[in-house]
């Protein structure tokens, strides 16, 4: 199993921004070109293999969170200078303190809702680096830690502002240490979708929101006021998160009827993730209450029970969620019915 470089900003968005020639977006275009080059260089070279947690192996009780935040100071050398260790006081630096809190809140969701001890299931220390690069337009998981840029200030704000972004990137670690879904084509879109699902659940858990109260937006608050958009993606209504003169229109499909066949972005991993994203939202909407409960348990069980092959397709994943719902709640349960109906709505055969 090889570890991909997983970033929150899709290459197609960076590419669109990089092509802007308007004077008011010159610095943003330059920042996007650099971030795009960074993404492409990492995607061309995979990291070394990382052992996965054997399916079914769980600690009796999750341990306490252990986290550290480092400051790259505008450089690109990781991890950087340590600025806040576990239990240390707030620093007053917004990025540092937001990263620290986001790491803790993500650990808390996995521990409380799923009995998981950190992203690897074995109490992995959660490290994050802030102030990476100069005007860096991205946040990413590199296989061992979180990294956050400060944004260009014209299009993107600092990437620690969104709890769903922090939860999203750490969820790539959970996938890495459990199912090990390859980062290409439908398996890659599922990899991205799992991160959106658990990123949204972290945000909802922190805010104690029900399905009806939640925004279901990924990356809300990342755009500056110059951008016509609410977030990077919408799980509730894929394709509606933004419609902007500079960034273009959100290209995500909401069902297989609009599935995007492309060789770009590792086979459309950020675009086609909208389809399983909407399926999860539909399950949560049908069941009501808090999405980290029944819907989250079904998706978490599917990801971690060892049933998914690394190259899982949407259909393989959908069938696995139906089986997980039956195992957890019964084949005649509302949960089982909701899962089947959701996949039918997004036109994925079960």
Burial category of 41 from C-beta neighbours within 10 Å (exposed 0-12, middle 13-18, buried 19 and up): exposed
* Given 203, 270, 335, 336, the catalytic residue: 270
Q: Which residues contact 258 (CB under 8 A, 6 or more apart)?
A: none
Give, rounded to a whole angstrom, the gap between the first and last alpha carbons of the chain.
27
The pairing of beta strand 81-85 with beta strand 217-218: unpaired
Closest CA to 20 of 34, 36, 7, 32: 32
* Given 98, 169, 220, 335, the catalytic residue: 169
User: Would residue 10 be called left, alpha or beta, if left means φ above 0 and alpha means ψ between -120 and 50 degrees?
Assistant: beta
Active site (annotated) includes residue 169: yes
Closest CA to 291 of 208, 347, 174: 208
Retrieve residue 88's tokens.
Answer: 């240390």
Q: How many C-beta atoms surround the C-beta of residue 273 within 10 A?
A: 28
Active site (annotated) includes residue 2: no
Crossing angle of helices 185-207 and 163-177, rounded to 10°: 130
Q: Which residues contact 179 (CB under 8 A, 6 or more apart)?
A: 52, 303, 304, 308, 310, 312
Instruction: Please identify which residue in the block is written with the tokens 């959908």.
Output: 318
Catalytic residue numbers? Answer: 169, 270
């Amino acid at each position: 199993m090889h570890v991909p470089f997983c970033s929150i900003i899709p290459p197609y968005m960076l590419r669109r921004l990089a092509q802007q020639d308007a004077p008011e977006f010159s610095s943003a275009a330059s920042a996007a070109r650099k971030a795009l080059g960074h993404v492409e260089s990492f995607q061309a070279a995979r990291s070394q293999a990382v052992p996965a947690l054997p399916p079914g192996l769980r600690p009796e009780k999750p341990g306490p969170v252990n986290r550290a935040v480092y400051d790259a100071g505008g450089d690109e050398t990781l991890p950087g200078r340590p600025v806040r260790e576990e239990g240390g006081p707030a620093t007053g630096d917004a990025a540092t303190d937001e990263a620290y809190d986001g790491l803790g809140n993500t650990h808390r969701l996995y521990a409380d809702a799923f009995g998981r001890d950190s992203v690897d299931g074995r109490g992995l220390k959660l490290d994050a680096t802030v102030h990476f690069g100069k005007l860096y337009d991205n946040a990413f998981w590199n296989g061992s830690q979180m990294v956050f840029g400060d944004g260009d200030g014209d299009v993107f704000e600092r990437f620690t502002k969104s709890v769903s972004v922090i939860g999203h990137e750490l969820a790539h670690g959970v996938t890495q240490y459990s199912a090990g879904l390859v980062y290409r084509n439908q398996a890659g879109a599922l990899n991205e979708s799992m991160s959106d699902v658990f990123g949204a659940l972290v945000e909802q858990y922190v805010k104690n929101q029900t399905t009806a109260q939640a925004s279901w937006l990924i990356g809300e608050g990342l755009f500056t006021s110059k951008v016509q958009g609410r977030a990077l993606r919408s799980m509730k209504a894929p394709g509606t998160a933004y419609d902007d003169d500079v960034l273009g229109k959100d290209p995500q499909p909401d069902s297989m009827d609009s599935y995007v066949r492309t060789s770009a972005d590792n086979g459309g991993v950020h675009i086609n993730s909208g389809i399983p994203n909407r399926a999860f939202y539909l399950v949560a909407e049908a069941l009501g209450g808090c999405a980290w409960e029944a819907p989250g348990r079904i998706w978490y069980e599917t990801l971690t029970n060892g049933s998914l092959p690394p190259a899982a397709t949407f259909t393989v994943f959908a069938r696995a969620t139906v089986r997980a719902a039956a195992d957890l709640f019964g084949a005649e349960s509302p949960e089982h019915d909701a899962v089947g109906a959701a996949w039918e709505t997004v036109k994925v055969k079960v």
